[in-house]
Chain A
Amino acid sequence: MSPARKASRPAPRRTRPRAAARRPRAAKVAAPRVLVLRAAGTNCDRETAFAFEQAGAVAVAVHVNELARRPSTVDDFHGLVIPGGFSHGDDLGAGTVLGTRIRTRLVDGVRRLVDRGGIVLGICNGFQVLVKTGLVPGFDGAIDRTVTLAQNLSARYEDRWVTLEVTTDRSVFLRPGERYRVPVAHAEGRLLPLDESVRARLHADGQVALRYVGPDGGHPAPYPWNPNGAVDDIAGITDPTGRILGLMPHPERHQFPWQSPTFHRDGPAELPDGLRVFLHAVEHLRHTF
């Protein structure tokens, strides 16, 4: 049985707090613990948990209601991932309902996690949630909504493979110079800054983490290489610490060699592109805790 399936069971009620797990020791951990946040409509939780497990972490799925009941649960973990899906049906705009819930109730725990060296990853709907929460870009550590993910220019949901380049050296999830072939699948992924100054600051501060590249590997990437019309081909952004990453594409959908669409022609790659992101993150946690 996969750990993810085990994890999807409701967490047993504990009468005594587990002090040891709650406060990770300063020594390096072999298997960092990652909380996979579930909510109504989350649907990429199993494979995202599996990717973290493949990379060496222990992934535990926790429902947001459970977290709301005991917000300190997050202190038992080294990482938090908000997986893809349609949390609350994308009602009121993708990520709005869950983002509002986190912003008004749970954001302190998330901040605490990042402040002690932990990581937060938001993939697709998870990125939408991070943006609506105001955790990214998080200029000066503020919780402030200064970018959004608007409806695709094509006005519809699209599933296609894209090529990403890493454009920051700040992110613990990414290595400068790497490129990833991974799929996108969304209807609201067009990154849009509040104004010109936000846009300029994203670039200047190295918070633009990932960009879609065109057929020749450059910019601007035309449709469909930039699948949604995102400003400056931006596919993902990081917070100033480099420990929070939000991205529209799905790295967990390229964690096995046979998932690559060119697998049947070119054979298996040495290391699936998407898996690298999880490996980098787990490596960071191993060195931090």
Chain B
Amino acid sequence: MAAPMAPARRLPRGKRPDDRGSRPSSPRPRTKASPTPRRPAPVHRIEVALKPDQIDPAGRDALGQLAAAGLSGLADVRVVRVYFLEGDLTAADLRKAAVEVLADPVMDRFAVRRSLDVRAGRPSQAVTVTRKAGVTDPEADSAAATLRSVGLAVTRVKAARTFHAFGAPQDDGRALLAAARRALGNEVIEDVVPGELAKWRFPAPAAVRVVRREVPVRDLSPEELTELSSALHLSLSLAEMAAVREHFRGLGREPSDLELETVAQTWSEHCKHKTLAGAVEHEDEQGRRTFKNLLKETVFEATRRLGKSWCLSVFRDNAGVIAFDGEDGVCMKVETHNHPSAIEPYGGAGTGVGGVIRDVLGTGLGARPVACTDVFCFGPLDMPAARVPDGCLPPRRLMRGVVSGVRDYGNRMGIPTVNGAVLFDPRYVGNPVVYCGCVGILPRDKVEKAAKPGDLIVAFGGRTGRDGIHGATFSSVELTSESESVSSGAVQIGDAITEKKVLDVLLQARDLGLFHAVTDCGAGGFSSAVGEMAAETGADVDLSKAPLKYAGLRYDEIWISEAQERMVAAVPKKAWPAFRALCVAQDVEAVVLGTFTKTGRLVVRHGRTVVGDLSMEFLHEGLPRVVRKATFSRGGGPEHDGPDAPDHTATLLSLLGTPDIGSKEWVFRQYDHEVQAGAVVRPWAGVGEGPSDAAVVAPKLGSRRGVVLSCGIQPSVGDVDPYAMAWLAVDEALRNAVATGATLDRLAVLDNFTWGRCDKPDRLGSLVRAAEGCRDAALHFGTPFISGKDSLNNEFRTADGTVIVVPPTLLISAIGVIEDVRRTVTTDLKRAGDVLYVVGETHDECAGGKWYRLLGLLGSKVPVVRPTAKATLLALEGAVGQGLVRAAHDVSDGGLAVAAAEMAIGGQLGLDLDLARVPGSTRRSDRLLFSESATRFLVEVAPEHAEAFERRVAAAGGTCAAVGRVTEAPRLTVRAADGRRDAVAVAVPALRDAWKSALPFSREESPR
């Protein structure tokens, strides 16, 4: 069959400015394409596959995924790796390539210039998956480099995988192709073609002419301005477009396309947070209030008022920094990467991880990443295909892709992924939520940075390509059923090893003092990185110096490309030779893009052509201020008012089997949580591997000082009352940390908001209430916010016009310093005979909880964090500090019943409990078991410490009661509140089975 030719990838951007009759200006530019070879070099094909008698795990995996995509009845799938080698090579050369590099002599066989006989007479169909032309393929690049290193004259390599399916339906292969397109390849970045790929023609390098292109705006009407913003995907509002028009009217000239793009990137919601940091007029049942800057008056305000001396750098760098010990600080950032993950989950999530790691690398003069965290929200995994709207990926495929993306990036970077959560709600189907966090450690004297005029602007790391164009502006729009095709250019392709090399040289250069400032290329690429670093100085940049993945990029594409793994440093001229030598020695590309100036202007050239010249003042201060309107009214639904059931065992088993509560082992098992040898408390705890409340890592080898990481997230409560949700999320994050051994006065928090379109007053009103809740909770607990990020506009418009709005999804991450990791506590039960305590009070507060969700109810009585909350946390903290606690588990999703079950699963021991002894205002067994009241713990205490424990809690002003004992027999028995029967009676292995099989993946892929 014919090879799919690689068409020049068209950018999804409608009319080009050229079409509007712009004229070339300034001197004739020169092209910068590499010389085209006179005669195309020959291309040779090599096939490699496992020997016929070898088990093919990748084939088996493909079989399972094809079945999940609807192609059942296949008997077997075998995978063949196909390589096309460009170069003048003899048959002996090709044999050498296979023997020395491409094929493993133990398990593989290969064929040169022909296909392997995979069929062996059996009927089969084939489908081939390969990266689209122009999409980064690190494996092909590695192959080319390695082949050259063994002395073969290979210029380029193309790699592909052919899947041979046996027992396929007797058709023309259409069913296989359709299933493969859903399951084996992603057409955003890969071609999935029928049959084998017999030939490949490498695309000839495209020539490019550099001509400054103007976009006339000075004479445009308001309608035309709006149209222009939309046609160029600028995502600028009319008021912003009008400000641009006035600016250029004042200058007496038209902007270049690059200047417009620069303004759009800089003013994007993603970069400027103009809603959260903007002015708001809010109205609710408590009256009207106005904010000049919502963020400053809520979240920042709490930090300012708390004035903690251990906050070393907050809300001004890439990540917030707190003190770790006398030498070092720790920093943390949590990013949202929702939109890219919705379109291409593997690449989107992977680059989300890569991006947040670069945030940490670009904090101060560079921090060493020591841990990652991940929180995801998806549509229900069992959502029938027919109910998944057009333009959305099925939640199962999304989750599989996201987890693989995080796994492959985080693991390759050598950063342990230690904490996280996964939530499900039908409203995430169009807008999955992907929060990626990263923690780093950096010397306290490397927290400050500033580029100086005269410093060189040095770009290092990955090359620039077309990937990820318009990510910043794309993340600021509503997704639609068209987004999958329109915005695929916004997807970024990751290459973790390039970033690992960047990490290595960056930290070495930092310790040698080779640069004054560093930042990552994130959203907006060079435009944002240079624009931000040079905001106080000025910059002169020559884009023709940037190393490109392939020729043919226009200057504006180079400027805004979000190609991954790139950093920008301000390197003093005299340090440049050393910086460059360091990079060269470890195969990291570094170039001088330009110079930091003191002109206050951002001058961008391509060779000799000036393609942009903007004042920093306009760029950073010219954004027009608008006042947004916000309204809020409380939500909620009916409560459960039926009689208390006599037995709740079945309800408990159902709760444990829901994906929200059930074991996430399928996820965390794929993450390396041990690398760097810092793991102390892992995602799982105890011999039975129950769930942990928080993670603890010891980031300095040999030091017993640790970092605790936890999170809180309760979107369903936000459906009723976002203010209560914010309190609850803060409470949850803190209680998870304290249960693990953290001290409250050394805990800080981070906020991440994922909301709907906040140009609509009701969405904004709920955001205002959540922000107020964050402030009030932080002030109550004395825990400052140190960093945050928001993603607004998370709405999906289906083909029939229905709008799906995500629930108000506030993630609170807590980070704290623990003096001695040996004093940490895990959730698993430790010894039969120990006493089990409930700390905190249980009320009738089931609204927004998991039991009500099971009943199909929302309810209106949400958990309320009470004024005693801080005292309760301090009570437990004191008891842990005195060594009185054997195990502790926070009570949250699914209430006391689920918390007790999880402790038993982790410890492989039993519990005998009595609901009549549980403190609080409700006496109904169902409420006592499943209410999700805030600030509660289940705590295991040795009998000899029981009295001291009770005294310690009472002295701190907390409430606790002994509610039962740990038993040797692995059985959970809970006496009903009326004392007349058992409300729950079940064996721990049954609890464990229900909990372990909650995710469908664990069932699909049972071990062999």
Chain A residues within 8 Å of B, Cβ to Cβ: 2, 4-5, 8-10, 38, 40-44, 46-47, 50-51, 54, 63, 65-66, 84-86, 88-93, 96-97, 100-101, 104, 132, 145-148, 150-160, 183, 185, 192-194, 223-224, 229, 250, 252-253, 255-259, 261-265, 268
Contacts and interface: CB of A to CB of B under 8 A. Distances in A.
B57 A152 contact: yes
A146 B500 contact: no
Interface in B391-439: 407, 411-414
Contacts of A89: 138-139, 142, 412, 495-497
A89 B495 CA distance: 8
B496 A265 contact: no
A134 B384 CA distance: 51
A257 B679 CA distance: 11
A90 B668 CA distance: 21
A158 B685 CA distance: 17
A258 B104 contact: no
A223 B143 contact: no
A35 B830 CA distance: 42
Contacts of A258: 680, 698, 704, 821-822
B677 A43 contact: no
Contacts of B501: 40-41
Nearest to A11: B585
Interface stretch (B350-358, B448-456, B504-512): B504-512
A268 B100 CA distance: 47
Interface in B956-1008: 1005, 1007-1008
Contacts of B142: 88-89, 91-92, 97
Given A104-B149, A153-B1008, A92 B101 contact: yes
A222 to B, nearest CB: 8
B106 A146 contact: yes
A148 B508 contact: no
Contacts, number: 197
Given A157-B411, A264-B825, A229 B497 contact: no
A92 B495 contact: no
A10 B582 contact: yes
Contacts of A158: 669-670
A239 B745 CA distance: 54
B105 A145 contact: yes
B406 to A, nearest CB: 11
A104 B587 CA distance: 19
B106 A148 contact: yes
Given A40-B501, A86-B412, A256-B677, A2 B822 contact: no
Interface string B487-517: 0000000011100110010011001100000
Contacts of B702: 2, 50, 54, 256
A190 to B, nearest CB: 8
Given A153-B1007, A253-B674, 13 more contacts: A8-B508, A9-B511, A10-B582, A44-B676, A63-B586, A89-B138, A92-B146, A145-B106, A154-B1008, A185-B411, A194-B106, A256-B677, A262-B687
Nearest to B404: A156
Given A89-B412, A92-B102, A153 B57 contact: yes
7 contacts: A84-B675, A86-B496, A92-B139, A100-B100, A148-B104, A264-B681, A265-B828
Contacts of A224: 1007
B677 A151 contact: no
B55 interface: yes
A151 B108 CA distance: 12
A225 to B, nearest CB: 10
Interface residue SS majority, chain A:
mixed
B689 to A, nearest CB: 9
Contacts of A148: 104-107
Contact of B512 (A2, A9, A43, A90): A9
B680 A259 contact: yes
Nearest to B137: A91
Contacts of B680: 258-259, 263
A151 B58 contact: yes
B672 A223 contact: no
Nearest to A157: B670
Contacts of A86: 411-412, 414, 496-497, 500
Contacts of A229: 55, 1008
B340 interface: no
A265 B681 CA distance: 12
Contacts of B497: 40-41, 86, 88-89
Contact of B150 (A85, A90, A100, A153): A100
The 8 closest A-B pairs by CB, nearest first: A43-B414, A91-B142, A47-B677, A148-B106, A155-B57, A155-B61, A223-B1007, A89-B497
B138 A91 contact: yes
Contacts of B582: 10
Given A40-B500, A86-B496, A259-B680, A65 B585 contact: yes
A43 B702 CA distance: 18
B769 interface: no
